[in-house]
Structures are given as C-alpha cells and as structure tokens.
Chain A
Amino acid sequence: MAGASMNDIKARIKSVESTMQITKAMELVATSKLRRARERVEASRPFCTMLGKMIDTVKGVAPLAETGWFSANEGKTLFIMIAGDRGLAGGYNSNVFRLTEMLAGGKEAIYLPIGKKATEYLRHRGRELLLDYDILAGDVRVGTAHRLSRSVCDGYLEGKFTRVVLVYTKFQSMMTQLPVYEELLPLGGESTSDAAGDPIFEEEPEEMLERIVRHYVSGVIYSAVCESLASESGARRSAMNAANKNAGEMIDTLMLKFNRARQAVITQEITEIVSGAEAL
C-alpha cells in the first residue's frame, strides 16, 4: 500500500516537473522578446509625439474647424481593441476586454480588434466588427497600421461612427503594464487660430490636415501595438515567473511527502524483521 502511494507521488512530481519545464522555457522566450519589444516601444514613442505636435500646429488654422475632424456628433463609437495573439499572460488579455466593456457600457458599438484573442472574444459575443479579416498583433508593421488607419478614417468620414477610442496596454516597466484608453477621433482641443499667424501651407490646409490626421492615426495605432506587444511579453514573463515559483514549491512539498512515505516503508520493514526475529 505504501509502495503504491510512493509511485503516485513520484508520478505527480514528474508531471509538475514537465509543466515547469514548459513555463521555464516560456519565461525565457518572453524575456528575450521583451527586450526587443521594449526597444521598439522606445523607438516609436517620439514619432507619435511629433505627429501629435504637427496636428497641434496645423489645427490652429481657422477654416479647419469645419472639417469634421474636431466636432463630436452623436453616433456610434469605434473601439480599437488591442490584445494578444496567445493566452498564458496573466490578466493581460482580460484586462483589455474588461476596460473595453466598461467604456462601451453595453451600448451598441463597432469594434476593430487587433490580436487573435481580441478577435475571438468579440466574435464569440457576436459584436459588429469593422473589418472582415483578422489581424494578428505580432504581424503589425507600419504598412499594416496605414491600412488600418485608412479603414478607420474612411469609416469616420462616412459617418459609420463618430468617435474612435483606442484600448491597449501601456508598457510602464517590466513589472507594471497598465490597460489604458485614448480618444483618437474627433481630435481633442480647441481649434483656435493662434496669434503668431498661420503657417504657409504647401497645399490646401484641409487636404494637409487630412493627410496628417491619417498619418497620425496610423502612427498612434502602430505605437499602441508596440506598447501592447511589450506589455504582453512583460505580463507573460511575470505570469510564468509566478508559475515557476509555484511549481517549485509544489515539488518541494511533494518531495517531503515522498520522503516521508519512503521512510514509513523502511520503518515498517524493520519492525517486521525485528518482530520476526523476536518470534524465533
């Protein structure tokens, strides 16, 4: 009987060990991916800031107030929801989902998911999606962001939706990733002419503004995807780190149990031998 329980414990230790091997490997992969993703985040941030500054410069011109990029009309909201392509990253995906649901507040909305998990989540709930094809977060390049920006801006100008909100995970540090949202359109702030006078426009200001806005939207999407990818690796690293720790503790307890069981078997055998000898 004692032998059987020893085998049971041995089997459990083996299974925990093999799980630990996987989580360990995943932690290593996440750590190395995180390094690259972080570099990408740091590189993409200034670009976004600059496009934002350019819009600030341009929007001071009076006739631009009528272009529709600034005014908020009643209508549906488009949520661009950026999550990961895979699970096992702690609360990374579900945090984004929860924040989006909270912002949507049960109202009818259109969604643009980026990342396999985000697409699956929305499709499962039968939400209205902007695009009929899926986008993997890991595949997003500058060109992809331009394509997405075109769909978003065209939809906005056609009036399919009147507000665009971007939900993603901001990468703050290795340990903290924050689910955040950003109002992308209409453009915030007052469109007031500044005293210094209008800049010289190479083309019609309206046209230039539209081009800059389209570029800005794609820049923000690209940068948000970079932030999200880095956050995903960070979240996965933390989750796998915790899993490793738990597995280690579990193995320790099981080892203790195993040793106790083995000792019990030995003690019993000795008792049997001694009592057998005494009987002689």
Chain B
Amino acid sequence: MNKFPLKISTPEGVKFDGGAVSLLVKCTEGDVEILAGHTDFVGTLATGRARVRSEDGNERYASISGGFIVVKGGEVMLATDAFEYADEIDIERARAAKENAERKIRNAANDVDLGRAEMKLKRALNRIKVYELK
C-alpha cells in the first residue's frame, strides 16, 4: 500500500514521525480516514480514538483529546494536547478520573462546572475504551 509522511505532535513530545499507510481519527463531524494521496484537508479532532497503521504494517490504537489535523501536499500533521497509545494509558488513573468526574457531575452547582465535568468524564471514558482495544 502507498504510504504518506505523518507527524503527530503533543506539547509533551512527538508521538509519531514517519511513514504511515492509514490514519483513522474522529473529527467533530465523524470518523475520517486518511490514506496516501488524500486531498488537502483541515479538520478539528474530537475526543476519541485514533488508529495509526505504520508502513511496517504495525497497527496501534490511541486516545486523543481535541486538536487538529491538517493535510497539506500529501503531508499529514496532527496536533493534539494528549495522544496516548493504548498500552501507554494509565488505566488506574483513568478509572479514578471517571469516578471523580461522575461525582463532580452530581454536585455541579452551575452549567460551567457541569460542562467541564462532562468533558472530563468524556476523556476518561475514551481512555478506558481505548485501553480495552489493546
């Protein structure tokens, strides 16, 4: 299969830099799979899972929380605040975060707190889900 250059960056470091044959991410409007030769594209990422198939046939799942994907001249850039491969996820922490968020949702005093807690819960659930894909 044809490959394309892919780079995945987070503030904590570069998570992927090399050739890939497929990248599946969840954008705000739904799943998007990028293959070699994709047209120029700009998308916003939602909290969700990503699947990276590298050129050596390795397939890995990862959790993503927000960010952007830009395809420009065949080159794919993905910038996100948090990108964790399934085997890197701290499952205990994610479970604790889930309980914490659920408690906050129950006790939320206003809409802002509720919104924040819901985002937290979403991220925690996403991590747990991706962990189980391992």
B11 contacts A57, C-beta separation under 8 Å: no
- Given A54-B77, A142-B11, verify A199-B71 contact (CB < 8 Å): yes
What interface size band does chain A fall in?
A: 20 to 34
Stretch at the interface among B39-47, B55-63, B97-105, B107-115: B39-47
User: Which chain B residue lies CB-closest to A43?
Assistant: B13
Q: Does A77 belong to the interface (CB within 8 Å)?
A: no
- Given A54-B68, A57-B70, A215-B79, verify A202-B13 contact (CB < 8 Å): no
Q: Does A200 belong to the interface (CB within 8 Å)?
A: yes
User: Which chain A residue lies CB-closest to B7?
Assistant: A50
User: Which chain A residue lies CB-closest to B43?
Assistant: A202
Q: Does A197 belong to the interface (CB within 8 Å)?
A: yes
Report chain A residues within 8 Å CB of B14.
43, 46
Report chain B residues within 8 Å CB of A42.
13
Q: Does B92 belong to the interface (CB within 8 Å)?
A: no
- Given A208-B44, A222-B11, verify A199-B39 contact (CB < 8 Å): yes
Report chain A residues within 8 Å CB of B67.
215
Contact of B79 among A51, A201, A222, A223 (CB under 8 A): A51
Q: Does B27 belong to the interface (CB within 8 Å)?
A: yes
Min CB gap A31→B, angstroms:
22
In this complex, the member of B13, B28, B39, B67 whose beta carbon has the largest number of chain A beta carbons within 10 angstroms is B13
Report chain A residues within 8 Å CB of B70.
53-54, 57-58, 199
Query: How many angstroms from the CA of A58 to the CA of B68 in the assembled complex?
Result: 12
Query: How many angstroms from the CA of A142 to the CA of B10 in the assembled complex?
Result: 10
Q: Does A212 belong to the interface (CB within 8 Å)?
A: yes
B73 contacts A219, C-beta separation under 8 Å: no
Count of B interface residues, CB-CB < 8 Å: 27
Contact of A203 among B9, B29, B40, B81 (CB under 8 A): B29
Query: Which residues A131-169 have CB closer than 8 A to chain B?
Result: 142, 145-146
Query: How many angstroms from the CA of A208 to the CA of B41 in the assembled complex?
Result: 12
Report chain A residues within 8 Å CB of B134.
none
Q: Does A121 belong to the interface (CB within 8 Å)?
A: no
Report chain B residues within 8 Å CB of A211.
44, 68
Report chain A residues within 8 Å CB of B11.
43-44, 47, 142, 145, 219, 222-223
Q: What 1/0 mask marks residues of chain A from 31 to 71 whose CB sits below 8 Å from any chain B CB?
A: 00000000000111011001101100110000000000000
Report chain B residues within 8 Å CB of A200.
39-42
Q: What 1/0 mask marks residues of chain B from 1 to 31 whose CB sits below 8 Å from any chain A CB?
A: 0000001011111100000000000011100
Q: Does A196 belong to the interface (CB within 8 Å)?
A: yes
Q: Does B72 belong to the interface (CB within 8 Å)?
A: yes
Query: How many angstroms from the CA of A146 to the CA of B68 in the assembled complex?
Result: 15
- Given A43-B13, A142-B81, A223-B11, verify A199-B40 contact (CB < 8 Å): yes
B39 contacts A202, C-beta separation under 8 Å: no
Query: How many angstroms from the CA of A54 to the CA of B80 in the assembled complex?
Result: 12
In this complex, the member of A42, A46, A146, A222 whose beta carbon has the largest number of chain B beta carbons within 10 angstroms is A46
Min CB gap B123→A, angstroms:
12
Report chain A residues within 8 Å CB of B42.
54, 57-58, 199-202, 205, 208, 212
11 residue pairs of the A-B complex, CB under 8 angstroms, read A44-B12, A46-B9, A50-B9, A51-B68, A199-B70, A200-B42, A202-B44, A203-B44, A205-B42, A215-B68, A223-B11
With contacts A47-B10, A199-B71 known, what are 8 further pairs, Cβ within 8 A? A47-B79, A50-B7, A51-B79, A142-B11, A199-B40, A202-B43, A208-B42, A219-B79
Which of B's residues lie within 8 Å of A, judged by CB? Answer: 7, 9-14, 27-29, 32, 39-44, 67-68, 70-73, 77, 79, 81-82
